[in-house]
Chain A
């Protein structure tokens, strides 16, 4: 599975308990998808799964608004 699929699966199955299938472009931070607790869980998941450390200053709308954005952020980091 690529990064986007891993994130899709984690958010849809674990964070949302199967309530909804998220797409790469969905606004994760709008009203419908994840709350502020969910954001913390998501960051912890990203750190564990992709063996990286996400500093507080990187946890921003720019990097985490969509699955695509997270993918881009992670790709840039690994360069």
Chain B
């Protein structure tokens, strides 16, 4: 019986010992090798004091070690916390201290940033004391602070013996940090149960088998990576980890997809748009691709149908679900018939998965009439436990209702949807001020909170403006304190040290006044329209 995510690997190592589990940059690990390396890491972590329920940080570039780390951490009974390797140090420090990470797994490729991170961890700011005690995979030449122990990857021997750690499906499996509207990230907690339910549901829905080759485009801290790391191994498939550099070079990316004979692709639309526009697909043979899954943000119809025409053998599906529920719907995009014009509308998010239940409600939590716009609430066995140590959010994020003398718990997605006559849901917008940039969630309130925190800033407004290729990007305006002087470049640098690159505004206008609403509040809509007009006049 399988009830833990780590048992995925135990079973596949038995069934497919010599089959490649993960590949990256021409290196690979078979299921047996991965199993032995994960056992080895687990023994090491346990000897370093890792206990059931502990949070272990993963600070790695995309590599085979990512897979070893995830399964090794689980085998030690702990939960993994993927830290964005691109995030500013202050943000990584926040996550490490917020969820009390005592053990961190890293590698040589992080040697540039590691000293700065360790230095910052020595002098913690805020309410959380520094928690880090052990670092695995420290590159040579990086000095550790006093009291922090370490070992290198070469110290860890593969082991044919699995550690004997008893945990259950309700134990914590991973925490992913995402943008929070109050200015600090929030940690989405998933258990072995919710993660495994997702792995199974996705493998079933997309008919994954051990013959499949999944292209892992998403980084570990992005929830889409769970298909590649959980569902692929569940069926004994091969996951090809795509190194960061390829994701920025569409012509190299398409070459890799061809050379690795990928069968399953799952990414944000941005990557697919890049492939279509710059991937020289005319010179490539991607006929092995059988399914292209995309999600995380809107995929403009002209680019979607454009790529479908280029890849006629692949099915295309829009996948929907906030990281809090993993995934809860999909929509299979029908191919255009001969001569049919390209529709303007983006693909619907489809129908809610068979294992989930949805309601669409108005502002008072009353169900709307079918076909009216409302917020989507979902209850599903793939849903998170809650946010790590955020009792406030854990009240507001859920809708609890009595059904048959029991409490049913729905997650409030914050997404406004509309049911179409054919039963599919269409995404219409957000209830709050969250925007998406290449699939990454950005809370505009968080961007404002960071700007306001600058000692010379009196007032700040952040808003979304359309990006060149679909989606949105952040723009902002500030009013400085009297007699303060600050340049846009200085302000952008300040923000860049506190927010991930995708959330840093493309520009900050230094203003003397803001448009106001009747009640004196900043009229962000007017600011946004001004910015859009300014963009329009340039093109």
A residues whose Cβ falls under 8 Å from a Cβ of B: 17-19, 27, 29-32, 34-36, 39, 56-62, 64-65
Q: Would you mind naming 15 contact pairs between A and B with Cβ atoms under 8 Å apart?
A: A17-B493, A19-B493, A30-B109, A31-B244, A32-B112, A34-B248, A35-B86, A35-B501, A35-B502, A36-B247, A56-B251, A57-B251, A60-B255, A61-B245, A64-B249
How many residues on the B side are at the interface (Cβ–Cβ under 8 A)? 29
| Choice from A30, A35, A36, A60 contacting B251 with Cβ under 8 Å | A60
B246 sits at the interface (CB 8 A): yes
List which B249-302 residues lie within 8 A (CB) of chain A.
249-252, 255, 270, 274, 278-280, 283
**Chain A residues with Cβ under 8 A from B85's Cβ?**
31
Given the contacts A56-B278, A57-B280, A57-B283, A29 and B492 also touching, CB distance less than 8 Å: no
Most chain A CB within 10 A, of B85, B278, B492, is at B278
Q: Does A61 lie within 8 Å of B252, measured CB to CB?
A: yes
**Chain B residues with Cβ under 8 A from A34's Cβ?**
248
List which B214-263 residues lie within 8 A (CB) of chain A.
244-252, 255
- Complex Cα distance, B255 from A57, in Å, reads 10
Q: Does B251 lie within 8 Å of A31, measured CB to CB?
A: no
The closest CB in chain B to the CB of A29 belongs to B245
- Complex Cα distance, B502 from A45, in Å, reads 21
**Chain B residues with Cβ under 8 A from A58's Cβ?**
251
Interface string of B69-94 (1 = CB under 8 A from A): 00000000000000001100000000
- Complex Cα distance, B270 from A30, in Å, reads 18
Interface string of B183-199 (1 = CB under 8 A from A): 00000000000000000
**Chain B residues with Cβ under 8 A from A60's Cβ?**
249, 251-252, 255
A17-B493, A56-B280, A64-B249 given. 5 additional CB < 8 A pairs?
A17-B492, A29-B245, A56-B278, A56-B279, A59-B250
- Complex Cα distance, B278 from A60, in Å, reads 10
Given the contacts A31-B61, A31-B244, A56-B280, A19 and B496 also touching, CB distance less than 8 Å: yes
**Chain B residues with Cβ under 8 A from A18's Cβ?**
489, 493
**Chain A residues with Cβ under 8 A from B86's Cβ?**
31-32, 35
Most chain B CB within 10 A, of A17, A39, A56, A65, is at A56
**Chain B residues with Cβ under 8 A from A35's Cβ?**
86, 248, 501-502
**Chain A residues with Cβ under 8 A from B280's Cβ?**
56-57
Most chain A CB within 10 A, of B246, B274, B279, B280, is at B280
B113 sits at the interface (CB 8 A): yes
Q: Does B250 lie within 8 Å of A17, measured CB to CB?
A: no
- Complex Cα distance, B252 from A62, in Å, reads 9
Q: Does B496 lie within 8 Å of A65, measured CB to CB?
A: no
The closest CB in chain B to the CB of A36 belongs to B248
Chain B nearest CB, measured from A27 CB (Å): 7
Chain A nearest CB, measured from B395 CB (Å): 36
Chain B nearest CB, measured from A9 CB (Å): 15
Q: Does B501 lie within 8 Å of A59, measured CB to CB?
A: no
Chain A nearest CB, measured from B418 CB (Å): 32
- Complex Cα distance, B280 from A35, in Å, reads 20
**Chain A residues with Cβ under 8 A from B489's Cβ?**
17-18
Q: Does A39 lie within 8 Å of B61, measured CB to CB?
A: no
The closest CB in chain A to the CB of B279 belongs to A56
**Chain A residues with Cβ under 8 A from B248's Cβ?**
29, 34-36, 39
Given the contacts A17-B492, A17-B493, A57-B283, A29 and B251 also touching, CB distance less than 8 Å: no
**Chain A residues with Cβ under 8 A from B244's Cβ?**
29-31
Chain A nearest CB, measured from B351 CB (Å): 32
Chain B nearest CB, measured from A28 CB (Å): 9
- Complex Cα distance, B493 from A35, in Å, reads 16
Given the contacts A17-B492, A35-B501, A29 and B61 also touching, CB distance less than 8 Å: no
Q: Does A32 lie within 8 Å of B113, measured CB to CB?
A: yes
Chain B nearest CB, measured from A45 CB (Å): 15
Chain A nearest CB, measured from B201 CB (Å): 30
**Chain B residues with Cβ under 8 A from A59's Cβ?**
249-251, 278
**Chain A residues with Cβ under 8 A from B496's Cβ?**
17, 19
Q: Does B246 lie within 8 Å of A61, measured CB to CB?
A: yes
Q: Does A30 lie within 8 Å of B61, measured CB to CB?
A: yes
Chain A nearest CB, measured from B461 CB (Å): 21
**Chain B residues with Cβ under 8 A from A57's Cβ?**
251, 280, 283
- Complex Cα distance, B497 from A17, in Å, reads 12
Most chain A CB within 10 A, of B86, B248, B489, is at B248
- Complex Cα distance, B489 from A18, in Å, reads 9
The closest CB in chain B to the CB of A32 belongs to B112
Q: Does A29 lie within 8 Å of B493, measured CB to CB?
A: no
Q: Does B61 lie within 8 Å of A56, measured CB to CB?
A: no
Q: List the 9 shortest-distance A-B pairs measured between CB atoms, nearest first.
A: A29-B245, A31-B85, A36-B248, A31-B86, A61-B252, A57-B280, A60-B252, A39-B248, A56-B278
**Chain B residues with Cβ under 8 A from A64's Cβ?**
249
Chain B nearest CB, measured from A35 CB (Å): 6
- Complex Cα distance, B487 from A17, in Å, reads 12
- Complex Cα distance, B492 from A61, in Å, reads 29
- Complex Cα distance, B270 from A35, in Å, reads 12
The closest CB in chain A to the CB of B488 belongs to A17
- Complex Cα distance, B278 from A32, in Å, reads 23
**Chain A residues with Cβ under 8 A from B279's Cβ?**
56
- Complex Cα distance, B113 from A47, in Å, reads 32
- Complex Cα distance, B113 from A63, in Å, reads 25
- Complex Cα distance, B113 from A32, in Å, reads 8
Given the contacts A19-B493, A56-B278, A27 and B247 also touching, CB distance less than 8 Å: no
**Chain B residues with Cβ under 8 A from A29's Cβ?**
244-245, 248-249
